Structure 1
Amino acid sequence: MLFLLQFEATPSLAMRLPPLDISTDQSALLAFKTYITNFNTNRILVSNWTTTTPSSVCDWVGITCGKLHRRVVGLNLPNMGLIGTIPPHLGNLSFLAQLNIDNNSFYGDLPKELANLRRLQLIDLGLNNFGGPIPPWLGAFQKLQYVYLNNNNFTGSIPQVFGNLQSLKALNMQFNKFIGSIPRCIFNVSSLEGLVLTGNSLSGNLPADMCNHLPNLQILDLSSNELGGEIPSGLHGCSQLQTLSLSVNQFTGPIPNGIGNLTLLCDLYLGYNNLEGGIPNEFVNLVNLNILSLRSAGLTGLLPDFLFNMSSLQGIDITENNFSGSLPRNIGPQCSALVVIQIARNQLTGGIPFDIGNCTSIQVIDLSENNLTEYGWEGLLSTRCDVYSFGIMLMEIFTRKKPTDEMFNEGLSLKSWVSESLANNVIQAIDSSLVRQEEGHVTVKVKCVSSIYELALNCSAESPEERINMKDVLVLLKKTRLEFLANISC
């Protein structure tokens, strides 16, 4: 009885604390606003986040409240041009589940009071100027699923406590200043779907069994670091991988055959390493591969023909290796998806397939600095190829169209269109900006372009033997120029 009387007569500690309701959230948000030192051109928070308006906190820009308890559960202010620091008051948003201030100019360290945000599921601080080490309390958020700390100035090592985030799906900490090795415990987070640590100074080897506990991993990007050792042979255990990038590191040894079992893989980047051997034959199983980049990877061996038979492949870059052998003779039928072929600076020999010109989807092709001495398989010098390319380029300039334009299909090509137009109505194949009526001399201009088209068709004749010599091309171009100038002056 005496205890109860004393308790009733003494104000409780709970009565002295501010009530934990929406007013607590409002105070925290207004404090956050005062820590913003510059709103740049976006001043919507100045007028919107205020107690003078009749609207509720839940109606403020970037704020989301829960339907039941009406507390702030989301603070989303990406791309707002805000400059400032994070106040400790933000830790009072005890119901906060999403914190997204991506792509602003916040700076400084993360206050320790944010450790109170135990309901966080998403934290996105990317593209800001935060610095200092990653606070260890971040590993205590058991509900955390998405962590984006990319493009900041965080330093130190990656905390071991990240291994405690057993609900984590995405971890993106690219382009910071992290050092040391990748904690082994991260590879034990079985819920992980994306791990992106590009552009740091991470070192050490990857665990051979790193994929034993990552059944859901779809994106693994560890490029532009200082990682070494051999590429883990157990990578095939990450059976859901769609993107694998280990480029710009110090990996050695062969490409694991098991990568060929990653049948969902779309993008593979292994360039700029110190690898050995060639491309595994198992790569033929990569039926969904879109991009294969092995530039300056240190590889040797024969260039496998199957690369040009992969119907999904859009880009091949194996520049600056030591591949030998020749290009497959019939490349045309299999190249429907290819947009980029870069095989420069290798040891290839033989001929350039004549039907490579039928690969209408190709926009970039670089076969330079090899030992390819033929165009087609007729045994003629590569200068014939240069003349052919020059002729196509002339047509592109004066038609203002590319061989890949949509109009060229079902047997109609840029060259055949120019040829038919030259015989029937050449003006339809001339860029309209070159023959404006108001500028005059239309007939003279049409005659000049017609001469250039005739030259271009002679350059790009189907048979290399029928193509004009490049010296004669120069003579004819000079002659066409003089005739044009003479007619214009008349």
Structure 2
Amino acid sequence: MLVLGYELPNLEELYLNGNNFHGRIPNSIANSSKLTEIYLFDNNFISESPELSFITSFTKCRYLINLGFNDNPLNGILPVSVGNLSTSLQYLYGYNCDLWGSIPKEIGNLSSLIKLSLYGNQLTGLIPTTAVDLQKLQGLYLESNKISGSIPDTLCELRNLYELTLSQNLITGAIPDCIGNITTLRSLYIDANRLTSSIPASLWLQNNLLQLDLSSNFLRGSLLQEIGNLKVATLIDLSVNRFSGSIPSTIGQLQNLNNLSLAHNTLQGSIPESMGKLLSMERLDLSHNNLSGNIPKSFEALRYLTYLDVSFNDLSGEVPSGGPFKNFSSQSFMSNEGLCGDPIYGLPPCHTTGPKKIKLMLRVLFALLGIIVLITIAMALAYAVGRYRSKNLVENTTDFAPGTTLPRVSYYELMQATQRYSESHFLGSGSFGSVYRGTLNDGRDVAVKVFDLQHQNAFKSFDVECEVLRNLRHRNLCKVISTCSNQDFKALVLEYMSNGSLEKLLYSDDCLLDILQRINIMIDVASALEYLHYGYSTYIVHCDLKPSNVLLDEDMVAHLSDFGIAKLLGEGESNAHTTTIGTLGYIAPEYGLEGLVSIRCDVYSYGIMLMEVFTRTKPSSEIFSGELSLRSWINDSMPNAIARIIDSNLLAPEEEYYTEKLKCLSSVMELALNCSMESANERVNMKDVVVALKKIRFQLLS
């Protein structure tokens, strides 16, 4: 028991951090009125009341400079009395202590404050405009809360601000145009919010900025040539936004840059040759764009480059092989149909030809071009007419990636590939058809999804899948290789997933998925959903999330499949009414009862699936009846009876690190409950889910 204030009236410094003290923080500490520093962090302190009365008692400490009560389970709100703390207070640390409610406007009274750190809580409401009165503030850390509203222009008047961190909140609107006025700014993190519009030109004038992270927002527009002004920057992350246009050549002027990510945008044009001058570069991610042309050979000079990802673009030509390239794998270059190079990259070899031979070939080509065109057209017409007369089948192949030519697969080749859709090739069936394993003429194994056109929604389902998968590219989405379509037959040719569905593996007696495998699979699924919800110009709702629609390749990487009932919400449309089609047990309440579909419906289904994966219990299990459901079963078991509901294959009391594993599993179940809240507005988003699961994985591996 702590009794400090009455016994030590002349105490000037109090350090009680990391000692696992528990109980309430005694208000009597404040009787040591000469205290200048109070550190109570990393214990198990709780508050006497939700209003954190101990803070009110600390207003008696008129000489207080440093106050830290972070990393305690306080579960309270910041009281208005926080503004009555000493005007000498310079450092206030209240992070990771379950604070909720809004930041009181009285915080502006702390005129001497240098650092305000309240990250990792459940704070809501707006950033108070009274923060403008904190003119000495150098660091403002509010990440990982639920703060909403826009970034107030008043923050631009903090002329001593060094670090501004607002990541992982619910902030909307635009980045203030006045952001360039904060000439002292060195680190700016506003990632994982809901910011819109373009990057203000003034931000590119921050020539002292070291770190800039605007990833996972809805920012749009082009990247300006003025990006070259950020000459001291070491990190720039603009990934998962809606930026278009080309990569400015002036980016090569950022000689100190060691981490650059422009992934998951719609950037076009070539990769600037000048990027080969970024000699400090360690990590470079340009994946999931529409970039074309070659990978600059100048990249061979980037000797510190340890991570490169240019996958899912339209690049062509030979991949350089010198310098850092010898350490890269096929993952760096996948889904660029025009690339060639060393077989270790999983690419076809390049066919090199000398200059003289090229000139000769060009002369011959131009000389015969007219003849070749005429012959080709004549043969194509004759072949098409003949085929039409002999068999009324028309196959349509859709290019799902701009600029990419996909191989045509005919009706007859699919018949041959699947041995006329024999039972031995049958993989499974769904609402609108059946899936068969096949081997194409080029030796490639595929899955052929044949739609049952007797079903009234089969035509629509086929069109929806084509529409969705034509425009989307992500490593965790099932890739469509080709289609075969006519009035009487419709099929999708998909990547073959050798490890089958998550449902099959989860309930198999021959294969046991361990904790790490299940977490990795669910991270893959969450990443796919994050891309569907935030990585495209419109919201895409899968609408039928369940283990049978998650497929696993030979490396146990999960791929989300079956977009037959997916919904594409229009521009500016966050929800829509529709007929409820889905699988009972996974359907969100508002979708099942009202037909109201939004991305939050997927979050609900994901939460139910997360529960199922770690309990190995279906939501339709016969043990659930009446008021008892999978969710309520888990909710009633939290937190003390969690071991009773977890899949017994994952946890044994006698095993090593039992307590650590149980803690991780408890965090997974808590996340699942947050995903499946009854009210759609209370559910977390998929960005937060990805972050949370990766954190759990890190804890599991530590």
TM more than 0.5: yes
Q: Secondary structure at the match of 2:153?
A: coil
Going from structure 1 to structure 2, the CA distance change for 1:383 and 1:250 (only over 3 Å counts) comes to: closer
Decide whether the 8 Å contact of 2:113 with 2:137 is kept in 1: yes
* Structure 1: distance between partners of 2:134 and 2:341: 54
Letter in 2 for 1:104: N
From 145, 148, 153, give the equivalent of 1:200: 145
Letter in 1 for 2:162: Q
Q: Secondary structure at the match of 2:288?
A: coil
Going from structure 1 to structure 2, the CA distance change for 1:147 and 1:237 (only over 3 Å counts) comes to: same
Unaligned 5+ residue runs, structure 2?
322-335, 348-702
1:330 deviation in Å?
A: 5.5
Which structure has the greater CA radius of gyration? 1
From 39, 58, 70, give the equivalent of 1:100: 39
1:81 deviation in Å?
A: 2.9
* Structure 2: distance between partners of 1:223 and 1:27: 37
Letter in 2 for 1:362: L
* Structure 2: distance between partners of 1:74 and 1:377: 60
From 94, 98, 122, give the equivalent of 1:153: 98
* Structure 2: distance between partners of 1:159 and 1:224: 20
Does residue 56 of structure 2 align to residue 117 of structure 1? Answer: no
1:220 deviation in Å?
A: 0.4
* Structure 2: distance between partners of 1:326 and 1:245: 28
* Structure 1: distance between partners of 2:168 and 2:2: 43
- Tell me the equivalent position of 1:136: 80
Going from structure 1 to structure 2, the CA distance change for 1:94 and 1:308 (only over 3 Å counts) comes to: same
Q: TM-score, normalised by structure 2?
A: 0.44
The one-character-per-residue Cα deviations of 1:456-482 (angstroms, maximum 9, x if unpaired) are xxxxxxxxxxxxxxxxxxxxxxxxxxx
- Tell me the equivalent position of 1:82: 21
The one-character-per-residue Cα deviations of 1:256-299 (angstroms, maximum 9, x if unpaired) are 11011211110000011111102222221111100000111221
Going from structure 1 to structure 2, the CA distance change for 1:390 and 1:300 (only over 3 Å counts) comes to: closer
1:222 deviation in Å?
A: 0.7
* Structure 2: distance between partners of 1:30 and 1:95: 10
The one-character-per-residue Cα deviations of 1:304-363 (angstroms, maximum 9, x if unpaired) are 12223310100001110011111123643x131000000100000001122323311001
1:30 deviation in Å?
A: 7.8
Q: Secondary structure at the match of 2:195?
A: strand
Letter in 2 for 1:80: N
1:386 deviation in Å?
A: 5.0
Shifted more, 362-371 versus 278-287: the winner is: 278-287
Does residue 179 of structure 2 align to residue 235 of structure 1? Answer: yes
Root-mean-square deviation over aligned CA pairs: 2.5
Does residue 285 of structure 2 align to residue 342 of structure 1? Answer: yes
1:242 deviation in Å?
A: 0.3
* Structure 2: distance between partners of 1:330 and 1:222: 32
Q: Secondary structure at the match of 2:242?
A: coil
The one-character-per-residue Cα deviations of 1:5-35 (angstroms, maximum 9, x if unpaired) are xxxxxxxxxxxxxxxxxxxxx994288xxxx
Does residue 192 of structure 2 align to residue 248 of structure 1? Answer: yes
Aligned runs of 1:174-213 on 2, under 5 Å? 174-212=119-157
- Tell me the equivalent position of 1:305: 249
Letter in 2 for 1:329: E
From 364, 367, 379, give the equivalent of 2:307: 364
The one-character-per-residue Cα deviations of 1:213-265 (angstroms, maximum 9, x if unpaired) are x1100000111111111110000111100000111111111101101121111
- Tell me the equivalent position of 1:374: 317
* Structure 2: distance between partners of 1:186 and 1:381: 52
Does residue 202 of structure 2 align to residue 258 of structure 1? Answer: yes
Letter in 2 for 1:294: L
Letter in 2 for 1:198: E
Letter in 2 for 1:29: L
* Structure 1: distance between partners of 2:208 and 2:273: 29
Going from structure 1 to structure 2, the CA distance change for 1:386 and 1:103 (only over 3 Å counts) comes to: farther
Q: Secondary structure at the match of 1:205?
A: coil
Going from structure 1 to structure 2, the CA distance change for 1:347 and 1:121 (only over 3 Å counts) comes to: same
The one-character-per-residue Cα deviations of 1:130-178 (angstroms, maximum 9, x if unpaired) are 1211122221121111111011101111011101111011101001111
- Tell me the equivalent position of 1:286: 230
- Tell me the equivalent position of 1:219: 163
Letter in 1 for 2:316: T
1:388 deviation in Å?
A: 4.9
* Structure 2: distance between partners of 1:326 and 1:360: 22
Going from structure 1 to structure 2, the CA distance change for 1:201 and 1:106 (only over 3 Å counts) comes to: same
* Structure 1: distance between partners of 2:193 and 2:2: 48
Decide whether the 8 Å contact of 1:374 with 1:381 is kept in 2: no
1:373 deviation in Å?
A: 1.9
Report how many aligned residue pairs link the two structures: 327
- Tell me the equivalent position of 2:649: none
1:209 deviation in Å?
A: 4.5
Letter in 1 for 2:250: F
Letter in 2 for 1:369: F
- Tell me the equivalent position of 2:107: 162
- Tell me the equivalent position of 1:173: 118
The one-character-per-residue Cα deviations of 1:58-84 (angstroms, maximum 9, x if unpaired) are 8xxxxxxxxxxx921110122223333
Q: TM-score, normalised by structure 1?
A: 0.63
Decide whether the 8 Å contact of 1:28 with 1:93 is kept in 2: no
The one-character-per-residue Cα deviations of 1:359-399 (angstroms, maximum 9, x if unpaired) are 11001100000001222599x975633525479xxxxxxxx
* Structure 1: distance between partners of 2:114 and 2:233: 24
Unaligned 5+ residue runs, structure 1?
1-25, 32-56, 59-69, 392-490
Q: Secondary structure at the match of 1:210?
A: helix
Decide whether the 8 Å contact of 1:219 with 1:244 is kept in 2: yes
Going from structure 1 to structure 2, the CA distance change for 1:384 and 1:376 (only over 3 Å counts) comes to: closer
- Tell me the equivalent position of 1:324: 268
Aligned runs of 1:451-490 on 2, under 5 Å? none
From 319, 338, 343, give the equivalent of 1:387: 343
Q: Secondary structure at the match of 1:155?
A: strand
Decide whether the 8 Å contact of 1:351 with 1:377 is kept in 2: no
* Structure 2: distance between partners of 1:253 and 1:129: 38
Letter in 1 for 2:200: P
1:117 deviation in Å?
A: 2.0
Decide whether the 8 Å contact of 1:216 with 1:240 is kept in 2: yes
Going from structure 1 to structure 2, the CA distance change for 1:77 and 1:107 (only over 3 Å counts) comes to: same
Letter in 2 for 1:230: A
From 288, 291, 297, give the equivalent of 1:354: 297
* Structure 1: distance between partners of 2:97 and 2:57: 20
* Structure 2: distance between partners of 1:266 and 1:89: 44
Shifted more, 321-330 versus 89-98: the winner is: 321-330
* Structure 2: distance between partners of 1:209 and 1:172: 19
Decide whether the 8 Å contact of 1:246 with 1:271 is kept in 2: yes
- Tell me the equivalent position of 1:422: none
